[in-house]
Amino acid sequence: MKFSNTYSQLDSAFYQRIAPTKVAAPQLLLWNKNLASDLLIDEMITQDQNLLAQYFSGNLIPDGAEPMALAYSGHQFGHFNPNLGDGRAHLLGEIITSDNKRYDIQLKGSGPTQFSRQGDGRCAIGPAVREYIMSEAMFALGVPTSRCLSVVITGEPVYREQAMPGAVVTRVASSHIRVGTFQYFAAKGDLESLSTLTDYTINRHFSHININAEDKIEQFLECTIDKQIELIVAWMRTGFIHGVMNTDNTAISGETIDFGPCAMMSNYHSGTVFSSIDKQGRYAFGNQPHIAQWNMARLAECLLLLVDANQEKALEKIEPLIIAFTDKFETAYFTMLANKLGLNEVNTEDHQFINELLEHMQKQALDYTNTFIKLTDSLTDTNIQNELKQQFGDWYANWLTMLASKNQSTQAAKTLMTKNNPLVIPRNHHVEAILAEYETSGQSAIIDSFLEVLRAPYEQQKETSQFQDEPKDGDHQYRTFCGT
């Protein structure tokens, strides 16, 4: 591994330099060969599973790595905590790929840091494997996301409600800079560090912005907002519910990060919540765009003093960008839904028509993923057409008329729908069954076979149908937990 570290060159206020805590008997469970190849990790290393286990448990530090725990703050369910930080994670360093992209390599579950707040700094095997499965599924679905390079079993127990096997998961992300990173310095009134962080983030993620431009802050905020809109629209296209959209889990890069209480929606309902700690539905499926806008407003607050010393003038420049989120999101959201319906263009008059479908789905408790699959297949299957005419009434006939009026051929519409409607998603009951079977058998083959299907979500493979069934209870009793 060839590291090219830049975050470590920032002031020590940004992190704590600390090595991972060694574990007793590391053993490699999951290894992402394709990702390892993209990261140019030496084949001599990847062919030695024992060596991989040592490196990606934290027992051995690769040459060039500079382990550290990152500092950040965060709004957690709307309540601000000024001192969070990596309480059980160590950033090893950064790697540049052959296409000149920079990625963080981070161990999670690798031991306590100054940010642990009396936690043990460890991770249980279940949440580690869940993050691996979910992040790979999201990547294949075309959703911006962090990914997992490996999961290593530590050979040590982790104590939560009961003793469980411990694990270290290696996360790969464009960076681990969050809205909460900006809040950390803004809360301290440390404008020098805040300015340094802003310039660093612009150079790393939005290099097209001139660092000397008078309006660089406004450009930076607008680019970050656009990334968040792209992310949330992708979540809603696939039925993903993050579950804990705190500002410390909002990556500036616009990637999905932290797969703790996440889940996939089965029966469509905008108020769907699975997280056991989200009692008020703050992070419900349909509330995700509003929370993203709220999080961007928190970022904007941090940037005000960098825009203009006169806060009224600064607000005049920044506030319109936050307000514009609403219209930008609506345009992107309805364009996405139109594509799921085979329409390559949409106007505001079409919005109500699209909403009528969602109302039908919610009223009839229809499965989100499978309904769009049926709509796609109905274009060339008269039996399904007749079924949907009964189910959706005039709406279905009007949809076919709309396709024709927009000069969409049946084949063109079906091709567009096939690209935007996955055949298979990591359904909650299957993820839980896979985790339970692994914990019983200790064999990783069941995880590998599940991942093989999830990595081709738009293709009908031999095993795809095994993971397309809907949960018997519509996931009404399903609950997720943060995994810490």
What are the per-10-residue average pLDDT scores of the chain (484 residues)? 94 98 97 93 81 97 97 96 96 94 97 94 95 98 98 94 93 98 98 98 98 97 98 98 97 96 97 92 97 98 95 96 98 98 92 97 97 97 96 96 88 96 98 93 91 97 94 89 64
For residue 289, which of 256, 254, 320, 333 has the smallest C-alpha distance?
A: 333
Q: Give the C-alpha distances (Å, rounded to integers) separating 426 from 14, 151, 270.
A: 36, 18, 19
Phi, psi angles (nearest 5°) of residue 54: -70, -45
Catalytic option among 38, 86, 104, 248: 248
The contacts of residue 218 (CB under 8 Å, 6+ apart) are: 307, 317, 318, 321
Q: What's this model's pTM, rounded to 2 decimal places? A: 0.96
The pLDDT of residue 44:
62
The pLDDT of residue 161:
81
Catalytic: 248?
Answer: yes
Q: Is 478 exposed, middle or buried (0-12, 13-18, 19+ CB in 10 A)?
A: middle
Q: Which residue type does 227 have?
A: K
The rounded distance, in Å, linking the Cα atoms of 289 and 296 is: 11
Q: Which residue has tokens 């990790």?
A: 41
The pLDDT of residue 484:
47
